[in-house]
Amino acid sequence: MRGTPPPLAAERLRAQLLAGPTARSVTGVTGHLLAIQAQDPRGARLAVRARTSGLTAADVDRALTTERSAVVSWLNRGTLHLVLTEDYWWLHPLTTPQLRASITRRLAQEGVTPGAAERGVRVIEQSLAADGPLTRPQLRDRLAAAGVPTAGQAIVHILALATFRGLIVRGPMQDRDQAFVLVRDWLGAPPEPLDRDRALALLARRYLAGHSPAADRDLAKWAGLPLGDARRGLSAIAAELASRDDGLASLGPASGEQARPVVPPLRLLGAFDPLLLGWASRDLFLAPDGPVVTSNGVFRPFVLSHGRGSALWTISRGQVVTGPLGPLTPPEEAALAAESADVTRFLAGR
């Protein structure tokens, strides 16, 4: 298990707040990474845990529910992401317009006609205006009562259609469910919109803050935008980029001017952790002979050992259970014990 990650991996681990200084709050992590994949609610919360100290899952719920400082919405790549409320306003118009055609096609595949889809969006908007926030099961009942198909993935795609139109987001937690809310009611009046060039420049700058060093193709894949858009964004901030020998884009000091961060011997990362989703290739962080972390689009919780995914882990009866790790050094054993206890503490809200 021992080994020193290559310089590029160490730099990216520092950018991801997994080596070196960590964040102090839910908004600190979310703002730094810009968008945290969140179709697995526990995984999104564990991404916050791994990059902070002393917080709990309840702190994430508080940001979503009482503070309204963060929301979850379908954004990059048409996937649910946890983002700061202030970032939703410019990420939504930048990353969702190209998704509308695909959602129309998927609705048709689920047997939802254009007329039924429009009726569904109206039912969602009217229900949330009158009785929101409402969870997905509650909205499914309203849609079914109005004769709108909800079987299979139909309900998901109708909710996505309303989301892409800028009508709704996922806001407060209600027990274990995250409720939908109207954007206008939950977030208030929108700020002055950014034109596309300014938004692409902001996207490139904010992406690199949490993912440096990276290439234009990495940004394009992560954001779900055309390669040309990624290049426009990076070109707009060219004066802010460091000079590197490898041709990758990076903010801050030139390559080699920062001391290599100390990479922790062992970390427990959750499902869909941002470390495996931030670049076009994830090979840098997966051991060649390691476990199958990704399968059929599902990213499972894994053990990061010296910067490489070395085993899977899960929670059974409230305790962390890891797959085979091989012989551990005393520092690795201590790190595993500390990480396991912290995951349990974090999820329990202690």
Predicted local distance difference test score (pLDDT) of residue 53: 96
Cis preceding-peptide flag for 133 (omega within 30 of 0): yes
257 pLDDT exceeds 60?
no
Q: 73 lies in a domain? A: no
Q: Tens of pLDDT along 134-179? A: 999 999 999 999 999 999 999 999 999 999 999 999 999 998 899 9
Predicted local distance difference test score (pLDDT) of residue 1: 46
Average model confidence (pLDDT) across the chain: 94
pLDDT-derived band at 260, boundaries 50, 70, 90? confident
Predicted local distance difference test score (pLDDT) of residue 339: 98
Cβ atoms of 94 and 162 closer than 8 Å: no
Predicted local distance difference test score (pLDDT) of residue 101: 83
Of the candidates 165, 184, 216, which is a domain's last residue?
A: 165
Q: 156 lies in a domain? A: yes
249 pLDDT exceeds 70?
yes
* Range 10-38 average pLDDT: 97
Q: 53 lies in a domain? A: no
256 pLDDT exceeds 60?
no
Q: 206 lies in a domain? A: no
* Range 57-61 average pLDDT: 97
Domain containing 115 equals 97-165
* Range 199-221 average pLDDT: 98
Q: 89 lies in a domain? A: no
Q: Tens of pLDDT along 287-345? A: 888 888 988 889 999 999 999 999 999 999 889 999 999 899 999 999 999 999 999 99
Q: In which order are the strands placed within the sheet that holds 319-322?
A: 266-269, 302-305, 308-316, 319-322
Q: 91 lies in a domain? A: no
Predicted local distance difference test score (pLDDT) of residue 100: 85
Going by C-alpha positions, the residue among 233, 219, 337, 237 that lies closest to residue 280 is: 219
3-state helix, strand, coil in the chain (%, to 5): 50, 15, 35
Q: How many domains does the chain have?
A: 2
The whole-model pTM stands at 0.95
CA distance 226 to 230: 7
Predicted local distance difference test score (pLDDT) of residue 288: 83
Of the candidates 110, 143, 165, which is a domain's last residue?
A: 165
Of the candidates 165, 199, 222, which is a domain's last residue?
A: 165
Q: 254 lies in a domain? A: no
Residues sharing a CB contact under 8 Å with residue 178, sequence separation 6 or more, in sequence order: 41, 64, 72, 135, 170, 171, 172
Instruction: Report which of residues 4 and 212 the model is more confident about.
Output: 212
Q: 3 lies in a domain? A: no
Q: Crossing angle of helices 196-211/7-15, nearest 10°? A: 120
Which of 8-17, 93-102, 227-236, 248-257 has the least mean pLDDT? 248-257
